[in-house]
Chains A and B, each alone.
Chain A
């Protein structure tokens, strides 16, 4: 029952966003399916950045351990902050791509 509240909140704010875009801001001529596809692509780009960040961090830590006497823990790269930062990377990259395609 409590989890249903999540979906209700998400549905209400999504509908409010849709109304704002379509009625108040005049975005109605753009296909919603294309926008959702683009959002999915943007999320996917963030996943690629996340995986790349974790892999690069892990390999760097292992290299530092092997080549020097300094110890770097691998758990540093499982920090939750990597998620929003990778999301920002993906968002920026995909916005760049979209703008480049328009020009």
Chain B
């Protein structure tokens, strides 16, 4: 490469890096303000609880030793709470094994049984690996049971995308958020985590739109 081209490339790199560096500093400073909370709130679906035909708890991950991940535990607990409040007669747990000793849905179902939910009121979906697959497979499983309206349990920022997919699959959806990091959190580290989850969800929405899933 000629020297003049090399110098021009270097100057451009310096300008781009300075701008991105300044942006990174601003993101870190934003963690000391309520900005991440506002951003998450603007993207999340508000809870709308009411009677439904089934409660659907989406998967969030399982540890290699077969324990539910913290996010999964929040969702499962919310699902059981809604069942105990008699908002629906059926509860569906989703989540595969991802190569581990047990499927997330089976571990969640066992926890529900231990907490008093009858086995015949529990359905497990262990084959779906993405939100899109969860919507398609669960809707197919619920069709013979004449389930029309569901309470959908997942993280609040994930709910909007998940609701759209379940509605596309023909179900009426009531959002029931379960957050492992509260959107009202005030700690800088938790706010950075909110920003990370926000970017992750925005990228997922972009991907789903580009792929034509939404």
Which residue numbers of A lie inside 8 Å of B, CB to CB?
3, 6, 37, 39-48, 54, 58, 71, 73-75, 78, 80, 94, 97
Contacts and interface: CB of A to CB of B under 8 A. Distances in A.
Contacts of A6: 32, 188
A75 B16 CA distance: 28
A41 B25 CA distance: 11
A96 B132 CA distance: 44
Contact of A48 (B16, B129, B203): B16
B214 interface: no
Q: Give the 8 A-B residue pairs with the shortest CB-CB distance, closest first.
A: A44-B17, A44-B21, A44-B20, A40-B21, A43-B21, A41-B17, A47-B20, A78-B200
Given A48-B17, A48-B20, A43 B204 contact: no
Given A39-B21, A47-B23, A74 B204 contact: yes
Contacts of A48: 16-17, 20
B129 A44 contact: no
Interface residues of B, number: 24
Interface of A is mostly: helix
Nearest to B129: A71
Contacts of A41: 14, 17-18, 21
A78 B198 CA distance: 11
A70 B104 CA distance: 19
B82 to A, nearest CB: 25
Contact of B19 (A44, A58, A74, A75): A44
A34 to B, nearest CB: 12
